[in-house]
Amino acid sequence: MADLTAGVVGASGFTGGELLRLLAAHPEFEIEQATSRSYDGKSVGSVHPNLRGTHPNLRFSDPEELASVDVLFTATPHGVSMEQIDRFQDAAETVVDLSADFRLDTEAEYEEWYDGHSRPELLEESVYALPEINREALPGADLIASGGCNATATILGLHPLIEAGVLDGSEQVVVDVKVGSSEGGAGGGDASSHPERSGVVRPYAPTGHRHEAEIESFLGLDLSFTCHAVDMIRGASATAHVFPNGPVSKGDLWKAYRGAYEDEPFMRMAAGGSGVYRYPEPKAVAGTNYGEVGFELDPSNKRVVVFSAIDNMMKGSAGQAVHAANVALGLNETAGLEFQGLHPVGSP
C-alpha cells in the first residue's frame, strides 16, 4: 500500500529517529534509506529503542551513497544542507530540510543571524513548512524548510493576532520560551548531562536567539525574545506578552483564534475553563503533532498574554516536516500523524 519511498539523512539523531518512527507508521511511505555516519551498518533499534522490533531489517547506511527516493528528509546540523543540497535534490524530487538552512528569505538575514549562505539563490524557491500559515505554497514544492521549534511555537501563538488585525507589527511584544532537553540533540555536552540539566530553570541565549529572525521574518514584527531551559524532555512553550495599541476584548481574541484555527486538524484552543489543564501545556501535546494556543487578558495593564505549546520534536520538527510533505504531495494531510498523546504523561 505504501506507494512512495522516503529517505532520512541524519537518522541516528533525535529528529532523524522521530522521522523514522513517523514514516514507519505512515500509510503512504516506505523507508528506503536511513543514513548515519557514526552508526553505519548498525540496526536502527540499537539507537532508537522504541524502534527495536519495528524495523527488524532496517540498518543505518553511509550518507555518502544516497538512494533515489520520492521524498528525502534531511535532519543534519545547520550548514550541512546548504553544502549538500545538490546531492539531496539529485536523490529526490522533494527535499524536506529540517535544519535552519532554508528557512529565511534572504542572504542578508543569513549574514546577520548565521555565517552567511552558500546557496542564496535557493532561498526564494524554498517554502517554509508550517501548513497553518503556508498551506497554499506547499503543493508541488521541491524544497521545503521545516520550521524551528521555538519559532513554530511563537508563530502559532501570534500569527492569528496579526491576521485579525489585533496587532499591526508596531507593538511591544515580549516572548519568553521554555524548552526541553531534546532541543540539545543527542550528545548535548556537559550542560545536557542529567545531573546538571535536571530541575533547571536556565536562561540560555537570553538575547539574540536565532529563531528570533525566523519569527520576525514571518510575522513582520519586532519582538523581545528569551529562552529558558526547563526540566522536560520534549516540549516548547511560548508565552507572549503583547500590548495592543487599542482596546481588545476576549471576544476579539476568540474570534481571531477561531478564525485562524477552527478548521485546522492539528490546532486546539485552551483558554481558561476548569480542571488541571486550563491553558496550553507541552504535556497535553507530548508525542503528537498538535499545537495548542490560548490567552488571557490583563485589564490592569492592557496586556494580552498568549500561550502556545507544542512538542518540539513533532510540531516543532519531524511532525511538521511530515505534515508539510503530506500537503506538498497531495496526501491525506493527517496521514501518519494521528497519535493523540497520553495522559498522564511526563514531558514526556
Burial 28-60 (b: 16+ CB within 10 A, else e): bbebbbbbbeebeeebbbebbeebeeebeebbb
- Round to whole Å and give the CA distance between 38 and 60: 9
Considering only 27, 203, 259, 330, the residue that binds its own copies (CB under 8 A) is 203
Cβ-based nearer residue to its own copies, 138 or 166: 166
Catalytic-residue membership of 227: no
Catalytic residue among 149, 314, 327, 335: 149
In the range 25-64, which residues lie near its own copies by CB under 8 A?
Answer: 25, 42, 46-54
CB of 91 to its own copies, least distance (A): 26
- Contact call for residues 73 and 51 (beta carbons, < 8 A): no
Is 13 known to sit in a ligand binding site? yes
Is 150 known to sit in a ligand binding site? no
Considering only 73, 102, 110, 307, the residue that binds its own copies (CB under 8 A) is 307
Pairing outcome for strands 236-243 and 303-310: antiparallel
Using rule CB under 8 A, residue 169 touches its own copies: no
Using rule CB under 8 A, residue 132 touches its own copies: no
In the range 181-200, which residues lie near its own copies by CB under 8 A?
Answer: 181-182, 184, 186-188, 190-200
- Round to whole Å and give the CA distance between 262 and 84: 39
Instruction: Please provide residue 219's backbone torsions phi and psi, each rounded to the nearest 5 degrees.
Output: -95, -20
Number of residues located near its own copies, criterion CB under 8 A: 100
Pattern 234-253, its own copies, x by CB under 8 A = xx-x-x-x-x----------
- Round to whole Å and give the CA distance between 46 and 78: 25
Cβ-based nearer residue to its own copies, 136 or 249: 249
Is 74 known to sit in a ligand binding site? no
Cβ-based nearer residue to its own copies, 127 or 294: 294
Using rule CB under 8 A, residue 274 touches its own copies: yes
CB of 232 to its own copies, least distance (A): 5
Helices 319-328/14-24 angle, 10° precision: 50
What is the rounded end-to-end Cα distance, in angstroms, of the chain?
Answer: 32
CB of 344 to its own copies, least distance (A): 4
Would you give the distance in Å from CA 137 to the centre of its chain?
17
Preceding amide of 49 cis, omega within 30: no
Cβ-based nearer residue to its own copies, 195 or 251: 195
Quote the DSSP letter at residue 74.
E
Is 57 known to sit in a ligand binding site? no
Using rule CB under 8 A, residue 114 touches its own copies: no
- Contact call for residues 71 and 29 (beta carbons, < 8 A): yes
* Residues identified as active-site: 149
Binding-site entries for NADP(+): 12-15, 312
